[in-house]
Chain A
Amino acid sequence: MKKTGSHIFVESLIREGVEVIFGFPGGAVLPIYNELFDAPIRHVLVRHEQGAVHAADGYARASGRPGVCLVTSGPGATNTVTGIATAYMDSIPVVVFTGQVPTALIGNDAFQEADIVGITRPCTKHNYLVKDVKDLARVVKEAFYIATTGRPGPVLVDLPKDVLTSTTEPRYPEEIRMRSYNPTYKGHIGQIDRAIKLILNSKRPVVYAGGGVVLSSGAEELREFAEKLRLPVTMTLMGLGGFPGTHPLSLGMLGMHGTYSANMAVTHCDVLIAIGSRFDDRVTGKIDEFAPDAKIIHVDIDPTSISKNVVVDIPIVGDVKLVLRDFLKRLEKDGLDLAAYRDSLNKWHKEIEMWKGVHKMDYNQKMRGKIKPQYVVEMLYKLTGGDAIITTEVGQNQMWAAQYYLFNRPRSFLTSGGLGTMGYGFPAAIGAQFAFPERTVIDIAGDGSIQMNIQEMATAVQYRLPVKIAILNNGFLGMVRQWQELFYDRRYSASCMQVAPDFVKLAQSYGAVGLRAMKPREVVSVIEKALSIKDRPVLMDFHVDREESVYPMVPAGAPINKMLLV
C-alpha cells in the first residue's frame, strides 16, 4: 500500500529507535508535523532552531545515541548552521532534517528557500537533498549510519515539501552497504606491538587522552591500560571524564589553561601516547616545541588526524576501545615483566609529584570579600558529589568548570571545545536532561553567553526540566577582558556589558526559579536550594569578582611549558 513521504519519514525514524526530536515547525515541514501529532516519538518544541541543534548535540554527548532535529526551510535551516558546525568540530552524531521548498521551485529564490546543502557542505560529515520519495527511507537510514559510525559527525537531510506529500510503496532497507565508506575499526597488530615495545623501553611516558576516548566508550579500557603500566594520564578539554579526574595517575587537563604538572610532564616526556586526540592548537601551544624529546604513538579512528599537525612515529588507525583492548591482550602475552616496568617509573613519578607541588589550581576566597568564580564551581562540585552532568558556555566559565569540577565518568562534561560556541551550554543541558531525567544537570555559564540562547528557558519550563544554570556574573565578556588585560594594555574595548537584565526576574518571568548570591556566605545555600527543586529550571545568579582571570595560561604562540601562573 502506498504511503506519503512524511509517513515514511516518521516510520524510518521509529525504525532507527529515535525517541525524541528537538524541533521548530514551519510551512515546509507541516506534513511531517501532521504525522508527528500522534506518532510514538516525543517532539520537543524549542524557541530557536540553534537551540534545537545544541539540544540534540547535548542529548547525543550525554547518551551516546544520535541526536535528532527537525526544522523548516529557509531561516529555520540557516539557524541550525552554528549548531551543526559545533557538532562537526567535536565529532558529535546529530542528524538534522530541514524542510525545503518543492523540487520545482528549488533555485528560484522561492519564499523561505535556502541552499542549506550548499551552505553546510563544509561543516557536515555528509548531507543529502532527497529528490525522489523512493529514496527517502534509504537516505534516512544512511544518514543515521554515517552520523554514528567511524568518526561520528553531523549529517543533514534536506526534504522538499513535494517529496513529503508524494506517495510510494515504502521499502525499508535492512542493511546499509556503502562502497565508498568503510571506516577502519581494528588497529594493526604489528603497529600495536611496536608501540608496546616503544613504551616498555621508555622512562618518561605520558598518555594524552582526548574526546575519542569518550566517543568510543573506551574509558574502562583506558583506565586498565594506564594502571597496568602505571602511565600518567593527561586529558584534553574534550577528554575530561574519559579518565577519572580523581585517579592518582591523572595529571589533569593539559594545554592553554591546563595544569602545570600536565604541561610540564608532556614537555619532558620521552614517549607520548596520544589516544583519541588530535593535537589541537589549544593543547600544543607552539607546535615545534611540543613534546620535543618524545617519540609519538597516535591512536585515532580518523586517518586525516594522524600526522596532520605533528608528525608521529607509530600511527595506529582504529577505534579507541578496540585498539586498547588489543593492547591489553598483547600485554598479557610473552611473559612481559610489567611489574618491573612499573617500578622503573619511580623516578618519573617523583618528578611529576614535584611539579604537582610547584603549582596547583588555586584561588583565594575570603569569606568577607567578593565571590570568586572558582569557589562557585568548587561548591557545585562538592554539593553534587562530583556526579552531575555539567555543560558549559564558552570562555572563563568554561575553563573554570574544566579546572575545578573533576569528572570521574565519561559523558558528564558537555562543552563546545572545537568551535567554542557561546550559547551552547543551556540548550545542551536541556538535551542532556531529556537523556537522563533523573540526573542533576547544570549549565555553568557567563553573563554574556547565557543571553545567547536564553529563550530556551521557555522550553525548559514547558517540559518541567529541573535544569540548573549557574551564571558566573562579572558584567564582562570575561575571556576577552582577560586577553585585553594581558596583551592589550587593559584596553577593554567592547568587553564590558553595560546593560544586563536582572537575571532573577528574567527567570521568574518565564516561570522558572531565580536565585541570587552577592556574598560568599550565600553561595552554598543558593546551590542547595537549587538542587532541591525538581520540577522546573533554576537560574542561579552569582555576582563574582569582576576581574578574576583564568590561570595557568599559555599565551598564544608560546610553548606549553611557558605558562603564566599569576
Chain B
Amino acid sequence: MRHTISILVDNEFGVLSRVSGLFSGRGFNIESLCVAETLDPSVSIMTIVTSGNDQVIEQITKQLNKLINVIKVSDLTGTDYVEREMVLIKVATDSTNRAEILRIVDIFRGKIIDVSQRSYTIEITGDEDKIKAILSLLKPFGIKEIVRTGKIAMARTPKT
C-alpha cells in the first residue's frame, strides 16, 4: 500500500543522502521525494511517497526515527491531510488541436508557460487524482516531456 511520509530533519549537510541511502540500503522503495527548508532554516521537511505492507511501513518509520538527523516522522496516510504536486507537461500541438488543449488547461485551472510552433508547456498543480485526469486527457495529443516535483503534503488543521 502507498504511504505518504512527512519527515522533519535537521538541515545538515548530507541529510538527503542519509535518508535516501537508508531506503536503498534496506530495499525500501521511493516513489517520489521532495525536500526543502521550512520557516526555521535549520530544519527541512522531506516528503516521501513509498509503498509496502504494514510491517514494512513500520520498519521504514522506525528506521527513519533512528537516524540522528531526523527530528520527527509522520505517516500521513490514513490521517486527514492535503497533498499537492506540480507537473510541467510539454504537449504536442498543431492548428487543429490548439484550442481543445487550451480548453482542457482552463478546466483544470492550469497555465501555459511556454509556447512554440509545435508545443505548449503546461504548468499544473493538484492532488493525485487531478494530475492523473489531466494526463489522461492530454495523452491522445502526444505528450513530449513531463517533469514532476513529487508530492508534498501537510496535515489538515482540526476543524473543531
Chain A residues with CB under 8 Å of chain B are: 117-118, 121-122, 125-126, 129, 131, 146, 178-181, 302-304, 307-308, 311
Contacts and interface: CB of A to CB of B under 8 A. Distances in A.
Nearest to B17: A121
Interface string B49-84: 000000100110011011011110000000000000
13 contacts: A118-B14, A121-B14, A121-B17, A129-B13, A131-B13, A178-B68, A180-B10, A180-B68, A180-B69, A304-B59, A304-B62, A304-B66, A307-B58
Interface in B114-151: none
B41 interface: no
Nearest to B26: A122
A126 B62 contact: no
Contact of A122 (B9, B25, B58): B25
B65 A303 contact: yes
Contacts of B71: 179-180
Nearest to B66: A304
Given A131-B13, A304-B62, 12 more contacts: A118-B14, A118-B17, A129-B13, A129-B14, A178-B68, A179-B71, A180-B10, A180-B68, A180-B71, A302-B66, A303-B62, A308-B59
Contacts of A181: 68
Q: Which of the listed residues B17, B63, B68 has the most CB atoms from chain A within 10 Å of its own CB? A: B68
Given A117-B14, A303-B62, A304-B62, A126 B55 contact: no
A121 B21 contact: yes
Contacts of A129: 13-14
A307 B18 contact: no
Nearest to A127: B14
Interface of B: 9-10, 13-14, 17-18, 21, 25, 55, 58-59, 62-63, 65-66, 68-71
Nearest to A131: B13
Nearest to A146: B68
A121 B59 CA distance: 19
Contacts of A131: 13
A302 B59 CA distance: 12
Contacts of B13: 129, 131
A303 B63 CA distance: 8
In order of increasing CB-CB distance, the 3 nearest A-B pairs are: A180-B71, A126-B68, A304-B62
B5 to A, nearest CB: 15
Nearest to A178: B68
A333 to B, nearest CB: 32
Contacts of B25: 122
Nearest to B71: A180
A117 B18 CA distance: 10
Contact of A121 (B18, B55, B63): B18
Given A146-B68, A180-B68, A122 B21 contact: yes
Contacts of A125: 68
Nearest to B64: A304
Contacts of B63: 304
Contacts of B58: 307
B158 to A, nearest CB: 25
Nearest to B18: A121
Contacts of B59: 304, 308
A178 B62 CA distance: 18
A181 B69 CA distance: 8
Nearest to A125: B68
Contacts of B66: 302-304
A281 to B, nearest CB: 15
B103 to A, nearest CB: 49
Contacts of A180: 9-10, 68-71
Nearest to B13: A129
Contacts of A117: 14
B68 A311 contact: no
A549 B69 CA distance: 47
B10 to A, nearest CB: 6
A330 to B, nearest CB: 27
Contacts of A303: 62, 65-66
A118 B18 CA distance: 9
A311 B54 CA distance: 12
B145 to A, nearest CB: 31
Nearest to B24: A122
Nearest to A181: B68
B84 to A, nearest CB: 27
Nearest to A142: B68
Contacts of B18: 121
A152 to B, nearest CB: 13
A332 B155 CA distance: 46
A303 to B, nearest CB: 5
A306 to B, nearest CB: 8
